[in-house]
Amino acid sequence: MSLSICLLAAEVAPLSKTGGLADVAGALSKYLATAGHDVRLFTPLYASIDQSRFPMRPIDGLQHVPLQIGPHHYVFSVVTTRLAGSDALVYLIDCPVLYGRPAIYTTDPDEHLRFLAFTRAVLAACQRMRWSPQILHCNDWHTAFGPLFVKAQLASEPLFARTRSVLTIHNIGYQGILGAAAIADLDLGPKSHLLHQDELRAGTINPLRHGILYADAITTVSPTHALEICTDEYGMGLQDSLRMRRDALTGILNGVDYHIWDPRNDRYLPEHYDSDTLSIKTELKRALIERLGLTTSATIPLAGMVSRLASQKGIELMFESLPQVLEWRDLGFVALGSGEPQYERFLAELAQSFPGRVVFRQGYDDELSHWIEAACDMFLMPSLYEPCGLNQMYSLRYGTVPIVRRTGGLADSVEHYVPDTGQGTGIVFNDFNSAALEWALNTALDLYDEPSQWTQMVRNGMARDFSWERQGRRYVEIYRSLISAR
Ligand code: ADP
Ligand code: GLC
């Protein structure tokens, strides 16, 4: 039986992207559409979306719709476009006052209104389309009030009476906390008692917590992270609510869209390769070395990193370990990313200290991110926490050995290589400190010096399958269990 699924995401690749949420929202909806479900993926129409690349079609009956959010009055329209290579339609909420800004996320005082209005507009669009979603699937804090809005206000309408809600937590580190004064913007009226009262008294409202409290099912993006977020160490203050709802919480590892992330068909690469044609990977390495102006040769190992430069990503573990390793061993390093100034400064200074061996490209560059995956030998992800992480799974497919800390989805997707058995796909370290990362880097470099071991590890990784065909099914199982539990 085909299901009707309304997916809400603040970013969707390739339209708008700052991180993995975009990749997952786009790929999951493609999977669901291919599996025959009526999936409608909603996202804001940001000014940064290139409408010449993605032609938009207005939807009849959804133009110039008034929307009241507390005392604020907005008008929105809905346009659609298709995701390449699939029947999946994306519905974009067009409201230039809210989304016509230079960046996807802002620190503007009305940031919460941008996403409250988005969530409300999606529900209003369902009403106007007379479309009854069986599943309302919200993602992260931006849309986490969706389940509460359905329960408190819409469940009495025939259209939503059978709707069940899912909240996926991609990143518990971002909760979108509001001051209690914003209570009027939630328009809950007499249902305001449903808000978390202790928090209200303390002067705050936490969108993500309300998603956790009211969603019919909660998922996060790896089995290990589902356990982690119930602990004081990783729960970021939400562990009590998560423990209370433990029975509704599941961890589902993200999938990889191999139409986009596979060296056998990567659209950015001039030549393609697989595990039988690894000499082409070496050619690509040569080309990247030349393009970046590195002075290392193709026989010297090249490590890469592509990352938001946020404290989550463990960049500070590199502060001591990376200069040490670069001092003592032959290694090239290319980093692409942007974010917090102290991490950008560290990488810029590292490039200055090791000219010709280290390159830092500050910014966001989709094409270069694919090249780094393809041309490097190793890929660094020493994360403090990592709900899933996509780049380590991309790296495995590209034969680029991931060096990761054993946390969240990194622990669930990379297996430490054991030379005696020839089993394993990468280098995994446990402790969050520089010495542990230094050990991991040295272990990788030692293995690189043993070509047969290295090739074995690379091939093991390339054979792993994290496709959405596997992971997407798990979401459908959850959707179905909610519907049949009615
Ligand atoms: P997160 O969502 O926490 O940022 P993920 O590993 O799940 O981490 O996903 C990150 C995604 O964003 C990957 O597709 C990665 O290639 C991409 N990405 C991150 N930073 C950049 C950048 N500076 N340029 C291009 N792509 C980037
Ligand atoms: C988040 C997490 C990342 C995850 C991504 C997609 O931003 O930091 O680990 O892969 O969302 O789920």
Average pLDDT for runs of 10 along the chain of length 486: 96 95 96 96 97 95 98 98 89 98 96 98 98 98 98 95 98 97 97 97 98 98 98 98 98 96 98 98 98 97 98 98 98 98 98 98 97 98 98 98 98 98 98 98 98 98 96 97 88
Indicate which atom in ligand 1 lies nearest the CA of residue 308: 20
Establish whether residue 13 lines the binding site of ligand 1, counting it when its CB lies within 6 angstroms of any ligand atom: no
What does the alpha-carbon distance between residue 79 and residue 363 come to, in Å, rounded to a whole number? 30
Tokens of 248: 């509704």
Establish whether residue 9 lines the binding site of ligand 1, counting it when its CB lies within 6 angstroms of any ligand atom: no
242-278 burial code (b ≥16 CB/10 A, e <16)? beebeebbbbbbbbbbbbbbbbeebeebeeebebeeb
Could you please state the CATH topology (level 3) that the domain comprising 4-255+468-485 is classified under. Answer: Rossmann fold (3.40.50)
Q: Across 97-202, where does the E strand assignment appear?
A: 135-139, 164-169, 178-179
Ligand 2 centre to CA of 171 (Å) is 6
Q: Are the C-beta atoms of residues 220 and 168 closer than 8 Å to each other? A: yes
Give 51-115 as a DSSP string: TTTS--EEPTT-SSEEEEETTEEEEEEEEEEE-TTS--EEEEEE-HHHH-SSSSS---TTHHHHH
Ligand 2 centre to CA of 140 (Å) is 10
390: CB partners within 8 A, 6+ apart: 20, 23, 24, 254, 256
Residue 426 DSSP symbol: B
Radius of gyration, alpha carbons of the chain: 23
- Residue 398 gets the label, from left (phi > 0), alpha (psi -120 to 50) or beta, of alpha
- In 3-state terms the chain splits into helix, strand, coil percentages (rounded to 5) of 40, 20, 40
Indicate which atom in ligand 1 lies nearest the CA of residue 390: 6
Query: Residue 304: which H helix or E strand, with range?
Result: strand 302-309
What does the alpha-carbon distance between residue 320 and residue 64 come to, in Å, rounded to a whole number? 56
Count how many residues are written for the chain.
Answer: 486
Q: CA–CA distance from 256 to each of 221, 331, 400 (Å)?
A: 12, 29, 15
Q: Are the C-beta atoms of residues 133 and 158 closer than 8 Å to each other? A: no
Q: Which segments of the chain belong to CATH 3.40.50.2000?
A: 4-255+468-485, 278-462
Tokens of 444: 């990788």
Q: What pLDDT is recorded for position 177?
A: 97
Query: Residue 380: which H helix or E strand, with range?
Result: strand 378-381
77: CB partners within 8 A, 6+ apart: 58, 62, 63, 64, 65, 94, 95
What does the alpha-carbon distance between residue 362 and residue 374 come to, in Å, rounded to a whole number? 19
What does the alpha-carbon distance between residue 162 and residue 175 come to, in Å, rounded to a whole number? 28
Ligand 2 centre to CA of 163 (Å) is 26
Establish whether residue 237 lines the binding site of ligand 2, counting it when its CB lies within 6 angstroms of any ligand atom: no
Ligand 2 centre to CA of 400 (Å) is 20
| Distance in angstroms between the alpha carbons of the first and the last residue of the chain | 16
Q: Are the C-beta atoms of residues 238 and 229 closer than 8 Å to each other? A: yes
Establish whether residue 307 lines the binding site of ligand 1, counting it when its CB lies within 6 angstroms of any ligand atom: yes
Residue 212 DSSP symbol: H
Establish whether residue 416 lines the binding site of ligand 2, counting it when its CB lies within 6 angstroms of any ligand atom: no
Give 239-291 as a DSSP string: HHHHHHTGGGEEE----B-TTTS-TTT-TT-SS---TT-HHHHHHHHHHHHHH
In sequence order, what are the beta bridge partners of 333?
Answer: 303, 358
Ligand 1 centre to CA of 152 (Å) is 36
Ligand 1 centre to CA of 16 (Å) is 12
**Three-class SS state of 385:** coil
Burial of 305 (0-12, 13-18, 19+ CB in 10 A): buried
Tokens of 426: 């990468």
Indicate which atom in ligand 1 lies nearest the CA of residue 392: 6
Q: What pLDDT is recorded for position 486?
A: 63
318-328 and 434-448 are packed helices; what angle lies between their axes, rounded to 10 degrees?
A: 30
Of 142, 171, 309, the residue with max ligand 2 atoms within 8 A of its CB, to mutate for a pocket test, comes to 171
Q: Are the C-beta atoms of residues 92 and 40 closer than 8 Å to each other? A: no
Phi, psi values for residue 234, rounded to 5°? -115, -5
Q: Which CATH architecture has domain 278-462?
A: 3-Layer(aba) Sandwich (3.40)
Q: Tokens 């408190």, residue?
A: 152
Tokens of 331: 């290694």
